[in-house]
Structure 1
Amino acid sequence: MSALLGELKVEVRYLREDNEAQAAKVRELELQKTELDKLKEQYQAQSQELISIKAKTNTTENQVEALKREREVKQVAFSASLLAAGSGTVGPFNTHTPLVFRRVVSNIGNAYNPHTGFFIAPVRGAYHFEFYIGAHGHAAHPTGAVLIKNGEHIFIAYEHQNSHYGSSANGVTLLLEVGDVVFLRQWVNSRIFDNENHHSTFSGHLLFTM
């Protein structure tokens, strides 16, 4: 009987030690799980931070591109003379006729089209235009050109003398919307002179955006 009790005590001691060892392993596993949970939270936080950084980077890149485009659009200016080369007179015509200034001196922003004579506003803003019209005097034919905005008669430069050289000029500042068209229209029955000295010119530039 005493031997059996001794064996039971030994077995109980082994079981207790085994339970303690298993309990220690459980605690260790729980600690490991806690550490893993912390690492998982840190990873998720870092992932969110990376997503936020990426979003901010994309926003910054978009802002930089927008500023570049805005800077490019703000650089708008052109100047051109009537004849591409040589000397001559344009007109007279029996109707008002669009003028095409073919010799382009500058065309920053490419808003002026030397094939049509049209200036098309690339951005909303205040623009200033000037035009000079040269002429040889003629009893039957004056010299005149009208600045047109979207089909509307704005300002005219007009000269009429019987002989000798003459000229006329005008200028205007206009508020233009994107896509507005500005050009010069030759006055009916008029003549306009130009040569290598470039007496007849059309110029414009953006003052500021709005």
Structure 2
Amino acid sequence: MNCAVLLFVLLSSSLILAQDDGNAITEKPDETRTCQPDMCDLLMAFGAMKEKIAVMETRLKNSETRLKNSETRLKDSETRLKNSETRLKNSETRLKDSESRLNSSGTRLKDSESRLRNSENQLLEVRNKERTKVIFSAATGEGGQDIGPFNTDKTLIYRRVITNIGYAYSPHTGIFVAPVAGVYYFTIFYHAGGHEQAKLRLYKNSQLMIMTHDHQTEADRADNGGNAAFLQLQPGDQVYVVLAANSHVWGTNYHTTFSGFLVTQM
């Protein structure tokens, strides 16, 4: 570009000198103006150079315009890129928050499932307790006669079953066997004549728990007695009534009874 400007200055100076020389020549009317051959070539080259310079300047302006447009588009692209990066960071943050909430929800879900299982187990336990009903009542049922006295203690068998829900009492052995762990309530009642003593003992396994007793008397021709107790039993524990040696009770379907029921499971 600098070379072109220098050449333009030289050509301008030559043109000025040529004009000065032309002024010294007297022009003839109706004759064509002439110039020196070297000067004509120089002027033609100068004209061509001016056209090239104009084309180059136009191209330069176009290039500068395209460069500005490219820079503008580049800035727009950079701005959009920054906006995209910002949106990406926001999306990553929201994703992390969503994952955190998801993990928290999963933990709460596990806790809820655990509590639900515990509630279901407790409900099942309560229902099992409700379904486990143990109630029995039985009388000696000997047809209206004395039972005893005997030389040794004897387990008293209550053969007439009045109630036996749960079938824990056996009318064949006279023994109640606890089906579940819990607290049970038992009662024993008897009727007897006064000519012999009456003595009943209630046992848990081989341990004496309670008893009822009346001595022989000549004045009192009939005796009645009874007792009751709450017993805590484990599955398989046995409860039964023993008629003591040398004692008796009156055996009927109504007078001498043995009863019990499950109060609550443990």
- Name which one, 1 or 2, has greater alpha-carbon Rg: 2
The aligned residue for residue 54 of structure 1 is 113
Give the residue type in structure 1 aligned to 2:229. T
Task: Kindly indicate whether residue 65 of structure 2 is the aligned counterpart of residue 34 of structure 1.
Answer: no
The aligned residue for residue 181 of structure 1 is 238
The aligned residue for residue 227 of structure 2 is 171
The aligned residue for residue 150 of structure 1 is 205
Cα distance in structure 2, aligned partners of 1:151 and 1:37: 70
What's the secondary structure of 1:117's corresponding residue? coil
Check whether the contact 1:102–1:115 (CA below 8 A) recurs between aligned residues.
Answer: yes
Cα distance in structure 2, aligned partners of 1:54 and 1:209: 27
Check whether the contact 1:145–1:185 (CA below 8 A) recurs between aligned residues.
Answer: yes
Q: TM-score, normalised by structure 1?
A: 0.68
Structure 1 segment 33-182 matched on structure 2, within 5 A: 33-69=92-128, 77-83=135-141, 90=147, 93-108=150-165, 110-120=167-177, 122-123=180-181, 125=183, 127-134=185-192, 144-153=199-208, 154-157=210-213, 166-178=222-234, 180-182=237-239
Give the residue type in structure 1 aligned to 2:206. G
Structure that is richer in helix per residue: 2
Check whether the contact 2:140–2:159 (CA below 8 A) recurs between aligned residues.
Answer: yes
What's the secondary structure of 1:58's corresponding residue? helix
**1:145-175, CA deviations, whole angstroms, 9 ceiling, x for partnerless residues?**
332233234424456589xx84542214355
Give the residue type in structure 2 aligned to 1:54. E
Q: How many residues align?
A: 202
The 3 A distance-change label for structure 1 pair 146 and 95 is same
Check whether the contact 1:77–1:206 (CA below 8 A) recurs between aligned residues.
Answer: yes
The higher-RCO structure (CA 8 Å, 6+ apart) is 1
- Listed as ranges, the gaps of 5+ residues in structure 1 are none
The 3 A distance-change label for structure 1 pair 126 and 201 is closer
Structure that is richer in strand per residue: 1
Cα distance in structure 1, aligned partners of 2:202 and 2:89: 85
Query: Once superposed, what is the RMSD of the aligned Cα atoms?
Result: 3.9
Check whether the contact 1:79–1:106 (CA below 8 A) recurs between aligned residues.
Answer: yes
| Cα distance, 1:184 vs structure 2 | 0.9
Check whether the contact 2:129–2:265 (CA below 8 A) recurs between aligned residues.
Answer: no
Give the residue type in structure 2 aligned to 1:30. K
Aligned partner (choices 74, 77, 81) of residue 18 of structure 1: 77
Check whether the contact 2:189–2:255 (CA below 8 A) recurs between aligned residues.
Answer: no
Check whether the contact 2:186–2:228 (CA below 8 A) recurs between aligned residues.
Answer: yes
- Listed as ranges, the gaps of 5+ residues in structure 2 are 1-55
The aligned residue for residue 200 of structure 1 is 256
Check whether the contact 1:127–1:173 (CA below 8 A) recurs between aligned residues.
Answer: yes
| Cα distance, 1:202 vs structure 2 | 1.3
Give the residue type in structure 1 aligned to 2:185. Y
